[in-house]
Amino acid sequence: MRKLVIFDFDGTLVDTITDVGICFNEALKVNDLPQHPLDAFGRFAGGNLETVVSRMLPQDQITVENIDRVKTVYRKLYLESKKPNTKPYPGMMHVLDTLKAKGYKIAVNSNKGQALLDDMVQKMFPPEYFDEVVGYLESRPSKPDPCGVDMICRACGMRREDAVYVGDGASDIATAEAAEIPCIYVTWGQGNQKDEENPYNYRVVNTADELLQTLQNQGK
């Protein structure tokens, strides 16, 4: 029984994509670059911020300068945004509350900047709710490197063999595979059918209730 559950943040625990898309479109507009329909931003998600920005730029506009310009404006806009459309996915609070009540350790591993991730976790969840929260810092490798998984394991006093990873995209599957831990793939985020069919997935789940059941039935 794996008693440490590591969750991706965006697209897994929390529905952030609408507010992310609004802020990215404004950052693109400010830099005289083409904008996108809000429902397109799910296709750009996954990986660090530089990778995400490069996916939304026209091929002939993918330069270090453009990526840096869009990234800088986006970070400011998103930090200042009230994020009115951002909230936990239906049923996820019940999943987290149940796991905590049953003695599981719960943690977050994200490529969202550490300071921003800490701020959002603090505003959206009860104090000291998660056992560890690991976001992106330039001083350490980002997902899919297993650095974050190892940091979480150390902080929780557990081993990789005690952990399972829950995510919604290719970078989450790759992170779990790099750490050699099972991956439970959720279908409500920004992934696609190719991710869903990745043979590394331990389980594919469609609802929060199904996720909770899967987590509690590991090893049975």
For CA atoms 24, 27, 29, 33, the dihedral sign is: negative
Cα–chain center distance at 180: 18
CB 165 within 8 A of CB 181: yes
CB 170 within 8 A of CB 176: no
**Other residues' Cβ atoms within 10 Å of the Cβ of residue 187:** 15
- Which band of pLDDT confidence, cut at 50, 70 and 90, is reported for residue 194? very high
Q: Over 80: is that where the pLDDT of 107 sits?
A: yes
CB 46 within 8 A of CB 145: no
What is the C-alpha R_g of the chain? 17
**What average pLDDT does the segment 122-128 reach?**
95
**Confidence (pLDDT) at 84:** 96
Alpha-carbon distance of 108 to 8, in angstroms, equals 6
**Percent of the chain's residues with pLDDT above 70:** 99
**Confidence (pLDDT) at 220:** 54
Q: What is the DSSP string of 131-151?
A: SEEEEE-TTSPPTTSTHHHHH
Alpha-carbon distance of 153 to 10, in angstroms, equals 21
Q: Over 70: is that where the pLDDT of 112 sits?
A: yes
**What average pLDDT does the segment 47-75 reach?**
95
* Per-residue pLDDT reduced to its tens digit, 154-190: 999 999 999 999 999 999 999 999 999 999 999 999 9
Q: Over 80: is that where the pLDDT of 70 sits?
A: yes
Q: Taking the model in full, what pTM does it have?
A: 0.92
- Which band of pLDDT confidence, cut at 50, 70 and 90, is reported for residue 218? confident
119: CB partners within 8 A, 6+ apart: 79
Q: Over 90: is that where the pLDDT of 45 sits?
A: no
**What average pLDDT does the segment 123-142 reach?**
95
**What average pLDDT does the segment 88-117 reach?**
97
**Confidence (pLDDT) at 47:** 77
Alpha-carbon distance of 83 to 89, in angstroms, equals 15
Domains of the chain listed by start with CATH number: 4-15+86-216 (3.40.50.1000), 17-80 (1.10.150)
Q: Over 80: is that where the pLDDT of 219 sits?
A: no
Task: Tell me which residue of 158, 180, 48 sits closest to 114, measured CA to CA.
Answer: 48
User: Reduced to 3 states, what is the DSSP secondary structure of residue 202?
Assistant: strand
List of long-range contacts for 111-119, beta carbons under 8 Å, 24+ apart: 111/47, 111/48, 111/49, 111/135, 111/136, 111/142, 111/143, 111/171, 112/9, 112/10, 112/136, 113/49, 113/75, 113/137, 116/75, 116/78, 116/79, 117/9, 119/79
